[in-house]
Chain A
């Protein structure tokens, strides 16, 4: 199935209309979700009052932080096994966007945490710690790619690191869970727990889907830029070689 997309030309044709569609749908969904979340739904005093409305930004960001790393690792794996160039381009494009949403997740989590936990940073919160390490994995991935001297080497090094990171994520998560579970004074607030009122569900889903579509659109745009950049470099190299 993936081989069908692996053709850069086919990808360019597909993304030329799919990316704008993603942007448009994503913007609509995010706008509706935020409008509902910020003005319409009632605030939940138990979750900290009005500050809980940051949830409509925080939860989609958290979802994308996880999903984007897994997506990057999967693309790396596909590139490593089948050497489809588009997979590498996708992995490269996901990294900075994934890091951005991960940072957004950390920032909104911190802002939410201050009034509810009384602190900007809660070491005892396993999710916060896991997301922080995910952020480091993204940074390492981007730094490593940037340090390689050719794009082929960047692709190989990046793929190895992304796969090593991905198989370590469950272990990191487990260790962080164990670490935090021992500190019983941790907060009892659970966003995604059964306490979630149905009234929040639809705006949240819309916002999550909207962010995902926006993310997908941005990935496609970055991929298109990368493909054109590589083509330009190829043409430049051919001109310099004189044939």
Chain B
């Protein structure tokens, strides 16, 4: 059990080309917390999340990842030929997570019916739910979510919000870039 922050960042600054995207951004996510990143389009919310995930190298500052994290972004990571079942199977194996839970995960995400349909034929909402299903494959304390509510219908939204609250109750933390209404109580908002 990690007692301090699950993920913390200090004095992050980022430059794209010659433009300063943001600077002096610090944040820390503790167990049970949900941090919402706010900012206008192009302010660098996605870039900040990518820095937190370790994908993008910040110009200044550092990120301390005390716990493992899940990554859900606008680009879902789904290959056109993959079905929800093969996608989850692949990532379960890649992460060393058990594969016998995939049926249960598909059921929970209401993906049983299209479970063997390849992604190029899935609707945007189904694709998004497939990506979100990765969150349930393996217990990871930090969820990094970039606009997780996009493309979801009312049911899907409900489902994700319940997953988020369960995750927080289990002692997980959420850092999400959200435009508009979050739909859950955030512990803190960070505006960049």
Closest approach, in angstroms, between the C-beta of B88 and any C-beta of chain A? 33
A140-154 CB contact bits vs B (8 Å, 1 = yes)? 000000000111100
Give chain B residues whose Cβ lies under 8 Å from the Cβ of A150.
16-17
Give chain A residues whose Cβ lies under 8 Å from the Cβ of B16.
150, 152
Interface residues in A140-193 (C-beta closer than 8 Å to B):
149-152
A233 with B18: CB separation less than 8 A:
yes
B15 within 8 A of A: yes
Give the docked Cα–Cα distance between A238 and B15 (Å). Answer: 12
B20 with A230: CB separation less than 8 A:
no
Q: Which residue of B lies closest to A236 (CB)?
A: B18
B18-35 CB contact bits vs A (8 Å, 1 = yes)? 111000000000000000
Interface residues of B: mostly helix, strand, loop or mixed? Answer: strand
A233 with B17: CB separation less than 8 A:
yes
Give chain B residues whose Cβ lies under 8 Å from the Cβ of A149.
17
Closest approach, in angstroms, between the C-beta of A211 and any C-beta of chain B? 35
Number of A-B contacts (CB under 8 A): 21
Give chain A residues whose Cβ lies under 8 Å from the Cβ of B19.
237, 240-241
Q: Which residue of A lies closest to B16 (CB)?
A: A150
Q: Which residue of B lies closest to A156 (CB)?
A: B57
Give the docked Cα–Cα distance between A161 and B38 (Å). Answer: 38
Give the bracket for the number of chain A residues in contact with chain B: 10 to 19
Give chain B residues whose Cβ lies under 8 Å from the Cβ of A240.
19
Give chain A residues whose Cβ lies under 8 Å from the Cβ of B20.
237-238, 241
* Residue among A152, A240, A241 with the highest chain B CB neighbour number at 10 A: A152
Closest approach, in angstroms, between the C-beta of B41 and any C-beta of chain A? 15
Give chain A residues whose Cβ lies under 8 Å from the Cβ of B18.
151, 230, 233-234, 236-237
Interface residues in B11-65 (C-beta closer than 8 Å to A):
15-20
Give the docked Cα–Cα distance between A163 and B173 (Å). Answer: 42
A201-243 CB contact bits vs B (8 Å, 1 = yes)? 0000000000000000000000000000010011011101100
* Residue among B16, B18, B20 with the highest chain A CB neighbour number at 10 A: B18
Give the docked Cα–Cα distance between A154 and B38 (Å). Answer: 30
Interface residues in B59-83 (C-beta closer than 8 Å to A):
none
Give chain B residues whose Cβ lies under 8 Å from the Cβ of A237.
17-20
Interface residues in A7-62 (C-beta closer than 8 Å to B):
none
Interface residues in A102-149 (C-beta closer than 8 Å to B):
149
Give the docked Cα–Cα distance between A233 and B16 (Å). Answer: 12
Give chain B residues whose Cβ lies under 8 Å from the Cβ of A233.
17-18
Give the docked Cα–Cα distance between A233 and B15 (Å). Answer: 13
Binding site for B on A (CB under 8 A): 149-152, 230, 233-234, 236-238, 240-241
- Beyond the given pairs A150-B16, A151-B18, 6 more chain A to chain B contacts, judged by CB atoms under 8 angstroms and listed by A's residue number, are A230-B18, A233-B18, A237-B17, A237-B18, A238-B20, A241-B19
Binding site for A on B (CB under 8 A): 15-20
9 closest residue pairs by CB, A with B: A233-B18, A237-B18, A150-B17, A237-B19, A234-B18, A150-B16, A151-B17, A241-B20, A230-B18
Sample (18) of A-B pairs whose CB atoms are under 8 Å apart: A149-B17, A150-B16, A150-B17, A151-B17, A152-B16, A152-B17, A230-B18, A233-B17, A233-B18, A234-B18, A236-B18, A237-B17, A237-B19, A237-B20, A238-B20, A240-B19, A241-B19, A241-B20
